[in-house]
A and B are shown apart, each in its own frame.
Chain A
């Protein structure tokens, strides 16, 4: 303390006095107090107007200090969360996908994730943030924050009242980065780099931005707490991130066609070690993704953290068990794929469900996604190379619907204190709202992606020539190789 002794003891008296004053009305509500006491207190106040002014100032200062302390805590967690979510794209997803492709396409798939880290960031600063979180239209935001105008140290009370809007902005950016990167799992080993860059830029503007605004933006059609017509629960991006990318991935896989040689020619993953490391990084990064979506270092963040972890574990267990029963062995690829499927499914539910329902969501997602990538894919014969649809599209849809079943107001009273949230609370209508959200996300992703692929196909082309595909995208698209082991 820098102040001199006398001044200090003076302010101590003021603090004590202010605490006593603050305590009086509180206790008055709870226990009957003799009528004389408050009267005598107010008479003391009225006799010394100068000290009353000082008390008010001190209270205001205390109020400011408390807010600053909370902001410091929340901001620290949100900055860490933003960094964790970036880590999911690079290196997490880049390694996960990088290991699943054949050796000749390793750098190409990693470069697609990395390019999106750069590309979407630039787009976000120019118009992206504003289109998602500016304005209050039902479908898309406005241009009020274009070029990040008005985005600074002050919080945006609509979204996160305790952290600088700058933090909120950069945190949401990381979601916009990973979402299109997920689609590259379906276009892997055959899409042109130029076509990928153009398609992803347009897709971000036409599909991601409206969906993000509809679900999370003020006044958005599907927003659960800021005046949406169909309040759809999506804590961390089940519809915005996973359904949108997963369904678009399916459209891309169908539009591009199968890889040359698929399914006759063997195309095993070239390094499951890379994929394994990538999946473990995704799991850790997902704590930033889901627990960070509480937008504060709160008990809700703890709840989402736990649900996320339990969902991932149960899904790894579910996928492995299904595989063990079917093939007689539990594979490493199965276990990590299951964990990712569980993380996807728990994403919309993370901040609404208790730990045991999180286990149930994970288990269901693990088994269903296993069935999607092993049975459904071969039944229809589409070449979703790295199962972006089977894991993100399917897992996201299951998660979004089950959120309506398992959401509870004791975890997150999003509709107001005491009001039922999901099916477990008796509000089964929420499953209907979730279904509306799912259908809109599916529709948006389907239509938007088809139109954009047609446009990109005309402008740059989407698929590499067959001889380039055979030679590999590393050499033909980027002029380099992942492994020069003999040099």
Chain B
């Protein structure tokens, strides 16, 4: 089992979600976040005072996947989330030791 975290542009979120559903990924957790990597922020001007806004809105997707699905999920996200511009985000993969479904205490990949 792998945990996949992807931070993407808010504008790409709907396409990414639909594409993941097409390859059979049903469950995910989505959070609206703010942050930045190499992308610099923008400036806003209020009555002549400039403010640099360097934390930009992003969408964070989290899902835990059976090993067989991980590569396809990564490819799908790369394909649909890419705009080619700086600020497109990142994907992080990490191994997950255990998963437990709270309702019936199933364990492992069955719980996903």
Contact = CB atoms under 8 A, between A and B. Distances in A.
A38 interface: no
Contacts of B44: 268
A375 B46 contact: no
B48 A333 contact: no
Interface string A304-345: 000000000000000000000001010101100100000000
Contact of B47 (A263, A266, A329, A333): A333
A268 B48 CA distance: 11
B51 A374 contact: no
B75 to A, nearest CB: 39
Interface of A: 263, 266, 268-269, 327, 329, 331, 333-334, 337, 373-375, 377-378, 387
Contacts of B48: 373-375, 377-378
Interface string B38-59: 0000001111110100000000
23 contacts: A263-B49, A266-B51, A268-B44, A268-B46, A268-B51, A269-B46, A327-B45, A329-B45, A331-B45, A331-B46, A333-B46, A333-B47, A334-B47, A337-B47, A373-B47, A373-B48, A374-B47, A374-B48, A375-B48, A377-B48, A378-B48, A378-B49, A387-B47
Nearest to A377: B48
Interface of B: 44-49, 51
Contacts of B46: 268-269, 331, 333
Contacts of A374: 47-48
In order of increasing CB-CB distance, the 10 nearest A-B pairs are: A374-B48, A266-B51, A373-B47, A268-B46, A268-B51, A327-B45, A333-B46, A269-B46, A373-B48, A374-B47
Most chain A CB within 10 A, of B48, B49, B51, is at B48
B101 to A, nearest CB: 29
A100 to B, nearest CB: 9
Nearest to B44: A268
A266 B45 CA distance: 11
Contacts, number: 23
A388 B52 CA distance: 25
A487 B51 CA distance: 31
B35 to A, nearest CB: 17
A226 to B, nearest CB: 40
A333 B46 CA distance: 7
Contacts of B45: 327, 329, 331
Nearest to B48: A374
Contacts of A329: 45
Contacts of A375: 48
Nearest to A326: B48
Contacts of B49: 263, 378
Contacts of A263: 49
B105 to A, nearest CB: 32
Nearest to A337: B47
Nearest to A376: B48
B50 to A, nearest CB: 9
Given A269-B46, A373-B47, 11 more contacts: A263-B49, A268-B44, A268-B51, A327-B45, A331-B45, A333-B46, A334-B47, A337-B47, A373-B48, A374-B47, A378-B48
A388 to B, nearest CB: 12
Contacts of B47: 333-334, 337, 373-374, 387
Contacts of A327: 45
Contacts of A268: 44, 46, 51
Contacts of B51: 266, 268
A377 B47 CA distance: 10
A18 B46 CA distance: 69
A336 to B, nearest CB: 11
A211 B51 CA distance: 40
A287 B1 CA distance: 69
B96 to A, nearest CB: 31
A261 to B, nearest CB: 13
Nearest to A386: B47
B77 to A, nearest CB: 31
Nearest to A328: B45
A331 B46 CA distance: 8
Nearest to A371: B48
A374 B46 CA distance: 9
A375 B51 CA distance: 16
A31 B45 CA distance: 71
Contacts of A266: 51
Nearest to A327: B45
A413 B77 CA distance: 76
A269 B46 CA distance: 8
B34 to A, nearest CB: 14
Nearest to B45: A327
B48 to A, nearest CB: 3
Nearest to B43: A327
A240 to B, nearest CB: 26
